[in-house]
């Protein structure tokens, strides 16, 4: 019931959360099995049918190897079945940038999304941005690994350098933003930058990045509603349905071309978004 080795190939209207720290005891996410199961129930009640379990991998800090994650995931699947929680869960990791990340992925020391070897969820260091990212992304892509950037809307350096994201998306890099970012839970600047990315087709996946039951929860519906107000129903649902399901199958994703970053093109989506909160920017 909880394991889906062959996820649906057609559009499903099934919500998939591609980034979630629901596996217990591996990082700063769920503390124990009761919390993991409570998060799973909350996700299912919110309409989520699948979760990619993505504990941090940070060399020397969170050394969550592929073997460790897969072992913990199998235990989780058994517990979900025992509790009759109708949630499909898939393996993954949130990978911190590393000098030999492509090599670690190819050797299967660390996990790609759903262990297909095709898509890697990648996190930047918190306080700085390495200067050779074009080469890093090229190296991954030359190994047939597509980088998926986790929550760049929350990175201070990138918030001041949106053209970098535009260039990377043109290179074929995918971008995941956090549901809570659209809801203002990381502040107004992050919210505005999230809207900017979405309105310029620079964000492709919407996920919870859930870490527990109180701050970043596994609820995705509120963020999806906010996304609908920015880019419309079809494009917003693609971010939680068609695109993430294609990713976990290791298939190419269908994406719109990025829109050049011009201030005038941002005004209308911003106004639609802020109107949800009774705010009318001038």
Domain CATH code at residue 246: 3.20.20.140
C-alpha to C-alpha distances, 162 to 117, 119, 135, nearest whole angstrom: 28, 23, 18
- Looking at per-residue pLDDT, the higher value among 5 and 140 belongs to 140
Q: What pLDDT was estimated at residue 113?
A: 98
Q: What pLDDT was estimated at residue 40?
A: 98
C-alpha to C-alpha distances, 111 to 52, 57, 91, 128, 201, nearest whole angstrom: 11, 9, 7, 24, 27
- The whole domain housing 64 covers 15-275
Q: What is the Cα–Cα distance from 44 to 109, expressed in whole angstroms?
A: 31
User: 276 pLDDT exceeds 70?
Assistant: no
Q: Buried b / exposed e across 149-179, counting CB within 10 Å, b at 16+?
A: bbbbbbbeebbeebeebbebbeeebbbbbbb
Q: What pLDDT was estimated at residue 263?
A: 57
User: 120 pLDDT exceeds 80?
Assistant: yes
**Residue 192 belongs to a domain:** yes
**Residue 282 belongs to a domain:** no
**Residue 198 belongs to a domain:** yes
Average pLDDT of the chain, as a whole number? 90
Indicate yes or no: pTM above 0.95: no
Query: What does the pLDDT look like over 167-202, one tens digit per residue?
Result: 999 999 999 999 999 999 999 999 999 999 999 999
User: 221 pLDDT exceeds 70?
Assistant: yes
**Residue 31 belongs to a domain:** yes
**Residue 160 belongs to a domain:** yes
Query: What does the pLDDT look like over 64-98, one tens digit per residue?
Result: 999 999 999 999 999 999 999 999 999 999 999 98
Of the chain, the percentage scoring pLDDT greater than 70 comes to 88
What strands lie across the sheet with 48-53, from one edge to the other? 15-20, 48-53, 88-91
Q: What is the Cα–Cα distance from 80 to 115, expressed in whole angstroms?
A: 20
User: 129 pLDDT exceeds 90?
Assistant: no
At 212, the pLDDT band (50, 70, 90 cuts) reads very high
User: 205 pLDDT exceeds 70?
Assistant: yes
The owner of tokens 């940038």 is: 97
**Residue 76 belongs to a domain:** yes
3-state DSSP helix/strand/coil % of the chain, to nearest 5: 40, 15, 45
| 129-155: average pLDDT | 93
Structure tokens, 199: 């309105």
User: 282 pLDDT exceeds 60?
Assistant: no
Q: What is the Cα–Cα distance from 228 to 46, expressed in whole angstroms?
A: 16
User: 274 pLDDT exceeds 80?
Assistant: no
Number of domains in the chain: 1
**Residue 280 belongs to a domain:** no
The owner of tokens 């591996």 is: 26
């Amino acid at each position: 019931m909880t394991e889906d080795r062959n996820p649906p190939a057609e559009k499903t209207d099934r919500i998939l959360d591609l980034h979630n720290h629901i596996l217990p005891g591996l990082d700063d996410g769920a503390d124990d099995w009761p919390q993991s199961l409570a998060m799973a129930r909350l996700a299912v009640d919110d309409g989520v049918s699948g979760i990619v379990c993505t504990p941090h991998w940070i060399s020397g800090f969170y050394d969550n190897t592929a073997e460790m994650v897969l072992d913990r995931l199998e235990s989780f699947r058994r517990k979900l079945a025992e509790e009759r929680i109708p949630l499909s869960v898939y393996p993954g990791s949130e990978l911190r940038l590393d000098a030999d990340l492509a090599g670690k992925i190819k050797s299967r020391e660390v996990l790609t999304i759903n262990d297909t070897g095709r898509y890697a969820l990648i996190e930047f260091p918190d306080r700085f941005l390495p200067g050779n990212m074009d080469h890093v992304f090229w190296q991954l892509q030359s190994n047939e690994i597509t980088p998926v950037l986790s929550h760049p809307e929350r990175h201070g350096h990138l918030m001041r350098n949106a053209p970098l994201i535009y260039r990377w998306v043109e290179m074929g890099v995918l971008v995941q933003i956090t549901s809570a970012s659209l809801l203002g839970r990381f502040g107004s600047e992050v919210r505005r930058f999230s809207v900017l990315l979405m309105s310029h087709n620079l964000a492709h996946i919407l996920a919870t990045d859930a870490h527990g039951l109180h701050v970043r929860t596994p609820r995705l519906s509120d963020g999806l509603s906010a996304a609908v107000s920015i880019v419309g129903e079809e494009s917003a649902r693609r971010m939680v349905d068609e695109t993430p399901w294609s990713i976990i199958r290791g298939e190419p994703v269908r994406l719109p071309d990025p829109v050049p970053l011009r201030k005038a093109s941002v005004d209308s989506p911003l106004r639609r978004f802020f109107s949800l909160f009774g705010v009318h920017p001038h």
